[in-house]
């Protein structure tokens, strides 16, 4: 059914935000038109990639 079964999103992560943080996320959702889940996934993965690439011993090929 799927070309790569490992690409199915089946793992969950819970995130607790205060009212101010949620307000910022809501504003970004309204501005970008993305769903909250997609926006948070993109932000988390982008930050993870940036942190890994900032390490001197990590190959640049993962970008």
- Chain centre distance of CA 48: 8
Full-model pTM: 0.75
Residues 63 and 52: their CA atoms lie apart, in Å, by 9
| 39 within 8 A of 29, measured Cβ to Cβ | yes
pLDDT in tens, 8-59: 989 999 999 999 999 999 999 999 999 999 999 999 999 999 988 887 765 6
Provide the greatest CA pair distance for the chain.
41
Query: Where are the domains positioned within the chain?
Result: 5-62
Residues 3 and 19: their CA atoms lie apart, in Å, by 40
Residues 43 and 58: their CA atoms lie apart, in Å, by 20
């Amino acid at each position: 059914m799927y070309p790569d079964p490992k690409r199915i999103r089946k793992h969950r992560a819970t995130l607790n935000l205060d009212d101010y943080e949620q307000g910022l996320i809501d504003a970004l959702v309204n501005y970008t038109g993305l769903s909250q889940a997609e926006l948070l996934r993109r932000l988390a993965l982008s930050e993870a990639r940036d942190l890994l690439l900032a390490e001197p011993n990590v190959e640049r090929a993962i970008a």
